Each structure stands twice: as C-alpha cells, then as structure tokens.
Amino acid sequence: MATKKAAKKSVKKAASKRTTSKKSAVKKTTAKKATPKKATRKYSPAAGKKVETEMREMKQGKLKSGSGQKVTNPKQAIAIALNEARKEGKKVPPAPKK
C-alpha cells in the first residue's frame, strides 16, 4: 500500500509541474511581444541639459518668449529649449508640422 500512495503522489507532482511550466511559458511569450525593440536615442544628452536649464529659468521667472512675455507654461519652456537645441545642431527630432 505504501508504494501505491507514493506512486500517486509522484504522478500528481509531475502533473502539477507540467501545468505550471506551460502557464509560465505562455506568459513569457506574451510579455516579449508586448515590449517594443530598443531604439536609438531620440534626443541627445545635450538636448536634455538644454531643457533642464530652460526649465530652471522658467521657474526663476527669467525665461521669455519671442514676444517678450514671461513663460509660465512648462510645455512652452520645453518647446523653446528643443527649438534652441535644434538651432545649435543637437540631435532632436524635427518639430511637428501644423
């Protein structure tokens, strides 16, 4: 009797191992498809530094737009920084067209 119980336990353990491995294999394949391939940097580190300095100026109240008004919107400050980085020749994607 002891051998039959041991045999049943080993069969149950083997069956449970098979099902868990199949589930984990399915999860791994779906995770790989969901993640995009690594691409090259869109913005250079120098462009990021430019954005940091412009944001600092905006927070201090020193940043002004082309018309001379103070910039209070962070998105506008980033746009100004990226535009200046483009003019300096840094690696930045082209501006969106209207």
Per-residue pLDDT of 29-77, as tens digits, reads 555 566 566 778 899 999 999 999 999 999 999 999 989 999 999 999 9
Average pLDDT of the segment spanning 8-15: 60
Per-residue pLDDT, 95? 87
Per-residue pLDDT, 91? 93
pLDDT at 21 over 70: no
Per-residue pLDDT, 48? 95
Burial of 50 per CB tally in 10 Å (0-12, 13-18, 19+)? buried
Q: Are the CB atoms for 64 and 80 separated by under 8 Å?
A: no
DSSP letter (8 states) at residue 64? B
More confident residue, 3 or 72: 72
| Residue 88 CB partners (closer than 8 Å, separation 6+) | 50
The pLDDT tens digits of the residues spanning 76-96 come to 999 999 999 999 999 999 988
Range of the domain at 65: 45-88
- Does residue 17 sit within a domain? no
Q: Are the CB atoms for 82 and 44 separated by under 8 Å?
A: no
- Does residue 18 sit within a domain? no
What is the number of structural domains in the chain?
1
- Does residue 52 sit within a domain? yes
More confident residue, 52 or 97: 52
- Does residue 73 sit within a domain? yes
Per-residue pLDDT, 10? 62
- Does residue 68 sit within a domain? yes
